[in-house]
Amino acid sequence: MGNRIDGKAFADQLCESLKTEIESLVAEHQLRPTIAVVLVGNDPASHVYVRNKVRRCEQLGIESIEHRLTSSTSQTELLDLIEEMNQDSNINGILVQLPVPEQIDDKAVIDAIAPEKDVDGFHILNAGALAVGQNQMVPCTPLGSMMLLKDQLGDLSGMHAVVIGRSNIVGKPMANLLLQENCTVTVVHSRTKNIEEVCRTADILVAAVGIPQLVKADWVKEGVTIIDVGINRVLVEGTEEEGKSKLVGDVDFDQVIDKAAAVTPVPGGVGPMTIACLMYNTVAAAKKQTGIS
């Protein structure tokens, strides 16, 4: 039976050390890291994500400023707000919760955020910096996934890492981080042929697809370490909980746990690390902007 990687415990530890660091930034430098969170529209999942992020900020002593805008907000209105926050030296980090309503171009929004305040790490300059190995702001989910992998495996050098999914926010930055750790990296996606066969050669498997329990036992080899990024809401079937919904990953945890060396569960794996790394990026941004090493 493989090891269940406790992302929640790791995230709690990271947040504890950030809290201590923030206390000393406030005491010694009168610097309280501040993040502005913008939510446009009524997407229920986005509301939950924002609430969880703001709650973590409060626990750690990060100041959060929330902007809740209606679903009819125009792109110009949103870009004006971002520009105002770019100019405000009290704001260290800016996060616009995605997705935004369809009248707004998300790429324009991401690239309007000052790169040094882009705590999500999605700005094209931050993506480019990561691609050439000069990391500035690294996207939170791949950053948190990499922390778990290094904690689990130590040196990743020479390992074959397979990343399922090639999105700009998870798959591609994850592949770049794995390359930086000297892994041999394969990225597979919706057009890949013989995907199971490729996955079976992985020492490290990162699933970031959005298909519930896609990865089965016969997709993996003995001893693999699996990071399940997927968050999928599905209806419960066949138990007394029938009709209720629950969260599952892109990996069939119960099937792979007997073959794998270690697997992140959903929930309780990568999710908490994503929020912890948002806090990490916000503290790093605040220090960098004020010249504190």
Catalogue the active-site residues.
53, 97, 120
In the list 2, 93, 142, 171, the residue contacting ligand NAD (rule: CB under 6 A) is 171
Q: Is 274 in the site for ligand NAD (CB under 6 A)?
A: yes
In the list 174, 183, 209, 227, the residue contacting ligand NAD (rule: CB under 6 A) is 209
Name the segment binding ligand NAD (CB under 6 A); options: 61-69, 121-129, 165-173, 254-262.
Answer: 165-173
Compute the least distance from the CB of residue 260 to ligand NAD, in Å: 18
- Residue 153, C-beta contacts closer than 8 angstroms, at least 6 positions apart: 159, 204, 225
Name the segment binding ligand NAD (CB under 6 A); options: 19-27, 76-84, 152-160, 206-214.
Answer: 206-214
Compute the least distance from the CB of residue 83 to ligand NAD, in Å: 27
Kind of pairing between the strands at 262-263 and 232-235: unpaired
Residue nearest to ligand NAD (CB): 167
Enumerate residues 221-260 that contact ligand NAD by CB under 6 A.
229-232
- CB-based burial of residue 62 (10 Å sphere; 0-12 exposed, 13-18 middle, 19+ buried)? buried
Cα–Cα dist 108/163, whole Å: 27
Contact assessment for residue 282 and residue 92, using Cβ atoms and an 8 Å cutoff:
yes
Q: Scanning the structure block, which residue is given the tokens 């020479």?
A: 158
Q: Report the half-sphere exposure of 109 (CA within 13 A, side-chain side).
A: 24
Compute the least distance from the CB of residue 95 to ligand NAD, in Å: 13
In the list 167, 184, 201, 255, the residue contacting ligand NAD (rule: CB under 6 A) is 167
In the list 4, 86, 153, 210, the residue contacting ligand NAD (rule: CB under 6 A) is 210
- Residue 145, C-beta contacts closer than 8 angstroms, at least 6 positions apart: 174, 177, 206, 227, 229, 264, 270, 273
- Closest CB to ligand NAD among residues 194, 239: 194
- The phi and psi torsions of 244 (rounded to 5 degrees) equal -80, 165
**Six-digit token string for 130:** 């990561």
Name the segment binding ligand NAD (CB under 6 A); options: 25-33, 81-89, 116-124, 184-192.
Answer: 184-192
- CB-based burial of residue 60 (10 Å sphere; 0-12 exposed, 13-18 middle, 19+ buried)? buried
Compute the least distance from the CB of residue 206 to ligand NAD, in Å: 10
Q: Which residues of this chain interact with ligand NAD, rule CB under 6 A?
A: 141, 164-167, 169-171, 188-190, 195, 208-211, 229-232, 270-271, 274
